[in-house]
Amino acid sequence: MKDDPRAGGHRRKRELRRTVLSARSTLTPDDLQETARSLARRVLGLPQVAGARTVAAYVSVGTEPGTGPLLDELRDRGVRVLLPVLLPDNDLDWAEYTGSDGLVAAGRGLREPYGRRLGPDAVVGADAVLLPGLAVDRRGLRLGRGAGCYDRVLARLAAHGAQPACAVLLYDGEVVDHIEGEEHDRLVQTAVTPGGVHHLGVTAG
């Protein structure tokens, strides 16, 4: 009996997740602060973000690329910032960011906005969507933690015909040549790291 090629793909994804998380675990608090500031500058320099009225983003946790400075700068510029609220089925609701004092502790170590829930479809009205991830490949296929939350977001955007700029926020070295894909995977156009902006090979059709 031949091995199921999907099993090999899942195994390689698990290995890549472990590798990335292991590398992130070595970052110091100073590293995290410096990269968060650099990442904010890169993201704010994107024309799609600079001209956005509404940006869907997220609150970084642990050793994820930091989003705190970015969220505050967007809000200071008058941009409406939507943040995710995790639902029991791993889908995402959204609420508006009103400042760091408007965030509360939630399950799985997350911090979420306290304000009024806007519904899962609120993301459809965003001009730009910033996604977390562990890696992305040159085609634009993003590797998350495996829960599928943001795969649903990308599928929802496609189902509504919405075409916001979608960028995954990563560290340098996390843009890789190839990630095993599945039928439900959706591609992103851009990866932003502290060291630069990577335009990925998304093709129409």
Nearest to 121 by CA among 147, 94, 90, 151: 94
| Whole-prediction pTM | 0.91
Query: Tell me, what's the pLDDT at 145?
Result: 84
Task: Determine contact, residues 142/177, Cβ cutoff 8 Å.
Answer: no
Compute the distance between CA of residue 201 and CA of residue 187 in angstroms, rounded to an integer: 9
| pLDDT tens, residue by residue, 63-93 | 999 999 999 999 999 999 999 999 999 999 9
pLDDT band at 95 (very low <50, low <70, confident <90, very high): very high
Tens digit of each residue's pLDDT (9 = 90 or more) over 135-163: 999 999 999 987 789 999 999 999 999 99
- Position 108 scores a pLDDT of 76
pLDDT band at 1 (very low <50, low <70, confident <90, very high): very low
| pLDDT, position 204 | 41
Range 96-115 average pLDDT: 90
Per-domain residue ranges of the chain: 5-199
Work out the pLDDT band at 201, boundaries 50, 70, 90: confident
The string over 68-97, giving b where at least 16 C-beta atoms fall within 10 Å of a residue's C-beta and e elsewhere, is bbbbebbbeeebbbbbbbbeeeeebbbbbb
Strands (E), the chain: 54-56, 80-86, 92-96, 103-105, 111-113, 128-131, 135-137, 142-143, 165-169, 175-176, 190-193, 196-199
Q: How many helices (H) and strands (E) does the chain have?
A: 5, 12
pLDDT of residue 180: 86
- What is the C-alpha separation between 25 and 86, in angstroms, rounded? 24
How buried is residue 58: exposed, middle or buried, by Cβ count under 10 Å (0-12/13-18/19+)? buried
pLDDT digits (tens, 9 = 90+) for 35-62: 999 999 999 999 999 999 999 999 999 9
Q: DSSP readout, 145-180? A: -SS-HHHHHHHHHHHTT---EEEEE--TT-EES---
User: In this predicted structure, what is the pLDDT of residue 8?
Assistant: 61
Q: In this predicted structure, what is the pLDDT of residue 5?
A: 55
The fold of the 5-199 domain, in CATH, is Rossmann fold (3.40.50)
